[in-house]
Amino acid sequence: MRRRLALPLAAAALAVPAALLPAGTASAAPADKPQVLSSWTQTSATSYNAWAAARANQSAWSAYGFDWSTDYCSSSPDNPFGFPFKTACARHDFGYRNYKAAGTFATNKTRLDSAFYEDMKRVCARYSGATRTSCNSTAWTYYRAVVVFGMTAPADATVA
């Protein structure tokens, strides 16, 4: 009989101190942060649109602790030859900064660079003829630059 009482008493003794502990710290990010980050950094237009909507309402996502800062296209023009790549660069920065902070940048870099290229190609799809060809060539150049030099790009930014 002693054994039967010992187990419930031991369990109760352990449960009380756990109940007195705070559930989590105020700075702890929600458990689904990696899934949300992944959903916003895919190559699809749906992913881009979801990220853009979240970016426009960053305060709703403040519990996640995402780094929304950007230097846009770094030292390259944000709108080369008039092609508006600035927002594509901002999403690319978002992916780089947040995956670096999560410690999973290396395993996600290829996809982030591909998403950047797809975002720029969607910009180019607005044009036709030689203008579209020129835009796609510029997008390819920007894409190849991040593939080659993206690992060494600074992670800090000056604009949020």
Question: What's the domain count of the chain?
Answer: 1
Q: 130 is in which domain, residue-wise?
A: 32-152
Residue whose structure tokens are 């705070």: 22
Q: Which residues does residue 70 pair with via DSSP β-bridges, in sequence order?
A: 159
Per-residue confidence (pLDDT) for residue 131, from 0 to 100: 98
Residue 157 gets the label, from left (phi > 0), alpha (psi -120 to 50) or beta, of beta
The CA–CA distances, whole Å, from 70 to 21, 37, 87, 90 equal: 38, 16, 10, 6
Per-residue confidence (pLDDT) for residue 151, from 0 to 100: 75
Q: Is 84 a catalytic residue?
A: no
For residue 12, is it within any domain? no
Which tops the pLDDT comparison, 59 or 157? Answer: 59
Chain segment 111-146, per-residue pLDDT in tens: 999 999 999 999 999 999 999 999 999 999 999 999
For residue 88, is it within any domain? yes
For residue 65, is it within any domain? yes
Q: What is the residue type of 147?
A: V
Q: What number of other Cβ atoms are within 10 A of residue 138's Cβ?
A: 20
With 50 as the cut, is the pLDDT of residue 99 above it?
yes
Please report the DSSP string for 99-139 in residue order: HHHHT-HHHHHHHHHHHHHHHHHHHHTT--HHHHHHHHHHH
With 90 as the cut, is the pLDDT of residue 52 above it?
yes
What mean pLDDT do residues 140-159 have?
74
For residue 10, is it within any domain? no
Per-residue confidence (pLDDT) for residue 26, from 0 to 100: 52
Per-residue confidence (pLDDT) for residue 28, from 0 to 100: 84
Domain with residue 38: its CATH number is 1.20.90.10
Q: Judge if pTM exceeds 0.85.
A: no
* Residues in CB range of 68: below 8 A, 6 or more apart: 55, 58, 94, 160
Choose, from 91, 92, 97, 109, the residue flagged as catalytic: 92
For residue 22, is it within any domain? no
Burial of 74 (C-beta count, 10 Å sphere; 0-12/13-18/19+): middle
Chain segment 67-86, per-residue pLDDT in tens: 999 999 999 999 999 999 99
